[in-house]
Amino acid sequence: MRALQSQFGLTLVEVLVSMVLLAVLLVPAIQALQTSMTGANVHGELASDQFRLASRLEELLAEPFTDLEAAATAAGGPSTPSSYSDTPGPPGRLLVYLAACDGDNADGDDDLFTGVDPDLLWVRVEAEGTVHALQTVTARGY
């Protein structure tokens, strides 16, 4: 009868060992969750930037070609932001670059900005201070 009674319940040593095991195994699990939560936040920010860039690019492509052409001429080249860029100051502002471009490479120098075609414009939208950008070429009448 005494042998059966000693099997009831857990001893203090067993409880302490199980608590130590849980504590040791719980730390990596919580770190993994923290990393995934940080990754989710970063992904959300990147997706937001991508939507902002795509939206601005679509707005630009809806503008009349002559307005874009005038802004490209005023900017003076592909490395100067155009008047379609956001005003300086706010973080994450969008910069818009416009330039006439060489779509057929008729001059054979493989430079997009020499020997330009009269009815083509290069359009680039980028988030300032990041590597995120979208660019395209648009033509008169499209």
| pLDDT tens digits, 62-87 | 999 999 999 999 998 899 999 999 98
Concatenated DSSP letters of 25-46: HHHHHHHHHHHHHHHHHHHHHH
Residue 141 clears pLDDT 80, i.e. is over it: no
**Token output for 69:** 């052409």
Concatenated DSSP letters of 49-68: HHHHHHHHHHHHHHS-HHHH
Cβ–Cβ < 8 Å for 56, 135: no
- Pairing, β 133-139 against β 94-100: unpaired
Cβ–Cβ < 8 Å for 63, 25: no
68 vs 5, more confident: 68
The pLDDT of 49-58, averaged and rounded, is: 94
Residue 14: HSE in the Cβ half-sphere, 13 Å Cα cutoff: 5
Residue 95 clears pLDDT 60, i.e. is over it: yes
Cα three-residue angle 109-111-112, rounded to 5 degrees: 135
Cβ–Cβ < 8 Å for 134, 53: yes
